[in-house]
Structure 1
């Protein structure tokens, strides 16, 4: 059955989109989670909805306007968080409300807008991904992975301790904006796969899952990307087998199931390491005695 699916162009396009999103979202999410900005993806997702609606209103490509508005929103979040008197969570909340309200309002008055089109961006429509969508998603994915590879070390230092990064001479403001902009691009990449309302889940849950099993930052990122790909492909297959299963929801639910499983396995691993440590300590005491 899988071999037959691979012969169909629609499934091929959906699979490529799922793989790219499964790789990019957890990679960026690792930095976001480490910096305690897990809701950043949600905030940008709501702003991106305004960008999509603006595309319908102006008759331009919704993906292009979503990129522009998302990047502007991400920069605004970071500037308000860094310079303003408003805390980061309040800044995100303001963008939540403004983004969703602006999107709904613009979609209502847009001549090409409709509830069906709005839902395809809110909840994803991976089955309707076109070759043009794939080229855009691939280009944005290359940009995101490029940032992670080139600036990964500096971003790691920033996420660990902003003051230490500043003392080390790193361009903290630039790196902070870079994380925000990269998150915005990731949201646009994933909106056709899991939807704007669920995109943050794919940025956060695989990272949280990986953290249950490993400690190192790089290992956490790689393992999170593996979990992201598994959840994305698994959700796509589930929605293909049963047309009643929405792919975006299936992807997120599979990611959550993986987290629950990793939570149990992680406890067993920690218990085993603790037992080994006690045995080792006891043996050293006996040797000294």
Structure 2
């Protein structure tokens, strides 16, 4: 016990651990808030699709020696708009549109990587996350953009709740449902890109889905689901960062694994009628 505490104290002496805790917690909050709207609208797979798009944008940024975050954010947002457009104009269901864009993005990412000389360590760290490479710029962008995401959700909470609960009714009463859907896609895109440093493009969608579906097992209302989801997500990030340091495990995979454990426990409680 004492050795574990000493290792945690030691971990807190490193700047990269502090950065990971800060950025990871911010991403966890954003994912929890957005996750509920996406899951209930049956659009949770958009996170997975945009994560695949971010793989291509990061490969492009590394090829151009540009900032991956600054390149990825606008391109991922444009891709989310394209998914919505395909859904509206091409009469494709959400999952089909997501499949088209994500598969094309993966192919483009592989081609770009091939042109650049193959998969290098930098690209690998973006695929599966690496807390060792979180820069000061990443921290600043995460602080600013996470604040934007959280403030926007609070400001438009009633509208977002309305289109999530019953989009047709929301349209009838005069809400701009199309605008709200685009707003959700923008916020999701930003959150996806911010999260790739901590858990990577291959795992970031799990951080959106797991806390929400876990909270839905034990919660009794909309706001309580958001609160429980946020609590689970932030706790898993903090515990995952420390466990990965102590046990020398990959941070992103550890965080997602802890989320999976929480889901199994809450699902078990629900089945036993204890929650």
TM-score range (shorter-chain normalised) is over 0.9
Match for residue 54 of structure 2?
A: 48
Match for residue 74 of structure 2?
A: 68
Residues 223-234 of structure 1: pairs in structure 2 closer than 5 A? 223-234=228-239
Moved over 4 A (4+): none
Q: Distance in 2 between matches of 1:85 and 1:36?
A: 17
Contact 1:165/1:172 (<8 A) preserved: yes
Contact 2:215/2:228 (<8 A) preserved: yes
- Cα RMSD for the two superposed structures: 1.4
TM-score under structure 1 normalisation?
0.89
Match for residue 225 of structure 2?
A: 220
Q: Distance in 1 between matches of 2:13 and 2:88?
A: 50
Aligned counterpart for 1:152 among listed residues 153, 157, 162: 157
Q: Distance in 1 between matches of 2:223 and 2:206?
A: 20
Q: What SS does structure 1 have at the residue aligned with 2:156? A: helix
Residues 3-152 of structure 1: pairs in structure 2 closer than 5 A? 3-110=9-116, 114-152=119-157
Deviations 1:54-96 (A, max 9, x none): 2122222111111011100111111211232222111011112
Deviations 1:183-205 (A, max 9, x none): 10010111001111111111011
Aligned counterpart for 1:247 among listed residues 238, 241, 251: 251
Match for residue 3 of structure 2?
A: none
1:260 correspondence with 2:258? no
Q: Distance in 1 between matches of 2:83 and 2:127?
A: 21
Q: What SS does structure 2 have at the residue aligned with 1:212? A: helix
Match for residue 184 of structure 1?
A: 189
Larger Rg: 1
Structure 2 stretches of 5 or more lacking a match? Answer: 1-5
Q: Distance in 2 between matches of 1:20 and 1:49?
A: 21
